[in-house]
Structure 1
């Protein structure tokens, strides 16, 4: 079957030139140049439109089991988990333009992505059964608090730019009264400000009339990465949901890094240069990771000296050097700077960073959906996005456990708008 042109793909998706330009993050003029054959679109632009067609067939269920909204959506990790159990997203909010670009490339909705949730009236948000929110964690994270203390800046709820965003989640919950919600944040949220921050959150949610359960889950039972996050599940009725009674994958028996690393026989991607092949015409030629991901002599020497300095002082700071049989440290949003928390050993060479594709696998994005996740942004932006994301298989496990409790509440409710109107 002959491949469709960009214009044909656009038209099959019933998209205007203006809509295509918005989706691709380019100008209308650029789209016209592509369609006239003056300039060839990048490979990932074709992937986005092909994926859009496939997505509608796979996920656009006219009769979803439940609807949900995706707040502080990032690149859609929480959404993926709840789509996997039959949910349909009806509203998305994400303020970062680059995260929006990645989100739009991988999800294809009838609704637009809303930016700053603080500027959205809760009454303008559609009725929904479930609210999902990975509200910003920097005001509560150990690294974020340490940095802000050093700079003399406020953190937690005193951080007016991010710390108070929980209360935007709360006002939406109070107005719409969804059957359930799931909130996600860093483990340190529970101990921040001697536990006062978490007591405020917990008390406010209970006062809103929700039965809640919380748990810190380590993702290394699902992916080769030690990554602890706190999850807060809430239900409009007390259905008996209890995180402590649930079983999650054993962190001591999780996969190792070899399961996500590139291998010699792997096919290079048409849209990215993560992998190279000296003989591009020979499909049997071994592929190898682009040398640009290998640390320079200067950076490698700096990281080694930095580690020695802190070890001598009795501190644990330093790089994390890993092989295929290891489990990595937590991938952070600062990974683009030097990659120090997760470096991959290379025989006879300096270690290297993970590629963005390996980061996608490390966060569980490419293990549960085909085709692979589209990465339409630069390496720097991709590292930030994956470092800020959730681990998708963890969300899927939580969503599966929450589903029967959500269904039980919905069975007693004709429509979510009826509850909101009470």
Structure 2
């Protein structure tokens, strides 16, 4: 099998970081493809595409703590690069598929509310983050990969009365010429967590792709008992999350009286006003609210009921990993605070494994020149 030669690319921010260009797999090997992982976080989307035979040729993630977790779990010869806005397209290797979970804060309900309160712009007007979509667009324009997958919060569709999403669609369809499909998917099909995210997939050539190909298990089949530490000795203790021969959850995750009283008072105050703000208390048979990046602050959106004689507790970082669909051999090399932020910002891995599976034949069709005839 013929392969083009590799050459080294140097990260503009750190000359010690180099990334080899891994050649694109050709038509004689249609089941394999190269992809790049932008705004990579801790690699949740990547895991889905590796599961269908993809090879990661380039990674960009600006957060140094996320880089540490990513590098601990993916033994690449290209360490995660930094700020994508500072990396010229000439230094990004050729690739077949572009993956990008571009920052969602400018479009999320919480993000918009916070920026409005502070008098700051949001959406594409947010100079710090909103325009990062256009870094995705410039790479698509320069590299013309066969396919892409973009991920964001559900609110992206309705932000600014739909105008933000209209700009995204126009850019991808009319300016870049990609056939695009989008769908809001709730991770609750796969994990015991209500977590809706929009997934946008695109193909360089017309294809027969359809969201009907997704196999989504019935909601409610997954419960918190499947991700919680059993605390009965059936799993090995994992310091400092669980301790002793029964692998009991450390007391450090139980809320203090002061914090628990505050959260109860906060919830009562808002109930009196007729709104639903407050903590989310769950047990083994329940489904959790959405895990957010702010979980480290008080854990209020997902508190584990420990019975009437004990205050509830936070999830451990390992339980957060399970709630997002990460396997137990996923390494967590950072502090609890950073881990909570990382899993709260992550995608639910099984969702993207299933989306990748649905995309797989159509990626192959574009790469082998069968896409247009297949679509016809």
**Aligned residue number for residue 199 of structure 1:** 166
Q: Distance in 2 between matches of 1:292 and 1:118?
A: 40
Q: 1:269 Cα deviation (Å)?
A: 4.2
**Aligned residue number for residue 166 of structure 1:** 133
Which consecutive aligned stretches of 4+ in structure 1 deviate over 4 angstroms post-superposition?
none
**Aligned residue number for residue 279 of structure 2:** 319
**Aligned residue number for residue 252 of structure 2:** 292
Q: Distance in 2 between matches of 1:246 and 1:317?
A: 37
Q: Distance in 2 between matches of 1:248 and 1:188?
A: 24
| Structure-to-structure mapping, 1:189-228, within 5 angstroms | 189-207=156-174, 208-228=176-196
TM-score of the pair, normalised by structure 1? 0.79
**Aligned residue number for residue 406 of structure 1:** 363
Q: 1:268 Cα deviation (Å)?
A: 3.9
**Aligned residue number for residue 321 of structure 2:** 360
- Paired residues in the alignment total 340
Q: 1:124 Cα deviation (Å)?
A: 1.2
Q: Distance in 2 between matches of 1:136 and 1:167?
A: 12
**Aligned residue number for residue 3 of structure 2:** none
Say whether 1:390 aligns with 2:347: yes
Say whether 1:242 aligns with 2:227: no
The answer to which structure has the higher helix fraction is 1
- Select 2:61's aligned residue among 91, 94, 104: 94
Whether the 8 Å CA contact 1:219–1:251 is kept in 2: the answer is: no
Q: Distance in 2 between matches of 1:294 and 1:210?
A: 50
Q: 1:365 Cα deviation (Å)?
A: 0.5
Whether the 8 Å CA contact 2:294–2:341 is kept in 1: the answer is: yes
Say whether 1:379 aligns with 2:347: no
Q: Distance in 1 between matches of 2:60 and 2:237?
A: 30
**Aligned residue number for residue 72 of structure 2:** 105
Say whether 1:328 aligns with 2:288: yes
Whether the 8 Å CA contact 1:139–1:163 is kept in 2: the answer is: yes
Q: Deviations over 1:116-169 (max 9, x none)?
A: 100111121000000000000000000000011011111101110100000000
Q: 1:110 Cα deviation (Å)?
A: 1.2
Whether the 8 Å CA contact 1:295–1:350 is kept in 2: the answer is: yes
Q: 1:273 Cα deviation (Å)?
A: 1.0
Q: Distance in 1 between matches of 2:352 and 2:251?
A: 34
Q: 1:253 Cα deviation (Å)?
A: 3.4
Identify the range of structure 1 (391-400 vs 258-267) with the bigger mean alpha-carbon deviation. 258-267
Q: Distance in 1 between matches of 2:269 and 2:304?
A: 22
Whether the 8 Å CA contact 1:218–1:251 is kept in 2: the answer is: no
**Aligned residue number for residue 337 of structure 1:** 297
Q: Distance in 2 between matches of 1:396 and 1:377?
A: 25
Whether the 8 Å CA contact 1:257–1:328 is kept in 2: the answer is: yes
Aligned-residue CA RMSD in angstroms?
1.5
Whether the 8 Å CA contact 2:44–2:348 is kept in 1: the answer is: yes
TM-score of the pair, normalised by structure 2? 0.88
- Select 1:349's aligned residue among 285, 310, 316: 310
Whether the 8 Å CA contact 2:190–2:219 is kept in 1: the answer is: no
Q: Distance in 2 between matches of 1:206 and 1:173?
A: 12
Q: Distance in 1 between matches of 2:90 and 2:246?
A: 56
Whether the 8 Å CA contact 2:260–2:311 is kept in 1: the answer is: yes
Residue 57 of structure 2 aligns to a residue whose secondary structure is strand
Q: Distance in 2 between matches of 1:266 and 1:156?
A: 47
Q: Distance in 1 between matches of 2:104 and 2:92?
A: 23
Q: Distance in 1 between matches of 2:80 and 2:331?
A: 18
**Aligned residue number for residue 226 of structure 2:** 259
Stretches of structure 2 lacking an aligned partner (at least 5 in a row): 1-15, 18-28, 371-376
